[in-house]
């Protein structure tokens, strides 16, 4: 009887442990990536919720190449009627073998992964993620994107293991009005 107790416990615990495994995502980057073409202004079309952008609208990111080869990152947007700017930096740890995997920092020397997961051939729309499932962005060169263009991007995100039902669609009304 005593020997059946560990067996019974393992039969109860193993399915729970399997369900508790973290969701894996495919964060492999695009194979062809030209940093100079990627530089410039991108509008945030959608993102997963996270504390550093919570409640922000009209969010934009600007990437500027520095003389030392690193990238200045300027993220801006509106929150509660106030214009906010976050200044950071980015670098390509391996520009030859994996040019679309960047590291981005907004605080001292603490860097996070920035993986370009999908990018159209004209560098007009991008899907960006990190090393885990908690960060995902859809970026565009324009503040509005047609559903026909978004469809394949969302399908790619889902194919990679991201739950797109958690995306927040960013209000870009002010940026659309200035065009």
Q: For the chain, which domains are there?
A: 23-177 (2.40.128.20)
Q: Which residue has the tokens 């994107």?
A: 145
Structure confidence by residue, pLDDT tens digits, 15-24? 444 445 556 8
Per-residue confidence band for 178, with pLDDT thresholds at 50, 70 and 90: confident
129, 44 contact by CB (below 8 A): no
Structure confidence by residue, pLDDT tens digits, 33-67? 999 999 999 999 999 999 989 999 999 999 999 99
pTM for this entry: 0.86
86, 55 contact by CB (below 8 A): no
CA–CA separation, 52 and 139 (whole Å): 17
């Amino acid at each position: 009887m005593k020997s059946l107790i560990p067996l019974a416990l393992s039969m109860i615990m193993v399915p729970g442990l399997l369900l508790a495994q973290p969701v894996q995502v495919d964060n492999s980057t695009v194979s062809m990536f030209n940093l100079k073409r990627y530089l410039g202004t991108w509008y945030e079309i959608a993102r997963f919720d996270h504390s550093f952008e919570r409640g922000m609208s009209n969010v934009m990111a600007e990437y500027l190449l520095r003389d030392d080869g690193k990238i200045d990152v300027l993220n801006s947007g509106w929150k509660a009627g106030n214009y906010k700017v976050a200044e950071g930096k980015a670098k390509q740890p391996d520009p030859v073998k994996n040019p679309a995997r960047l590291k981005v920092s907004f605080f001292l020397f603490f860097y996070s992964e920035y993986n370009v997961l999908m990018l159209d051939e004209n560098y007009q729309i991008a899907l960006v993620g990190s090393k885990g499932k908690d960060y995902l962005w859809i970026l565009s060169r324009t503040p509005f994107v047609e559903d026909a263009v978004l469809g394949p991007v969302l399908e790619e995100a889902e194919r990679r293991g991201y739950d797109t039902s958690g995306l927040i669609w960013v209000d870009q009304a002010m940026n659309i009005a200035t065009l």
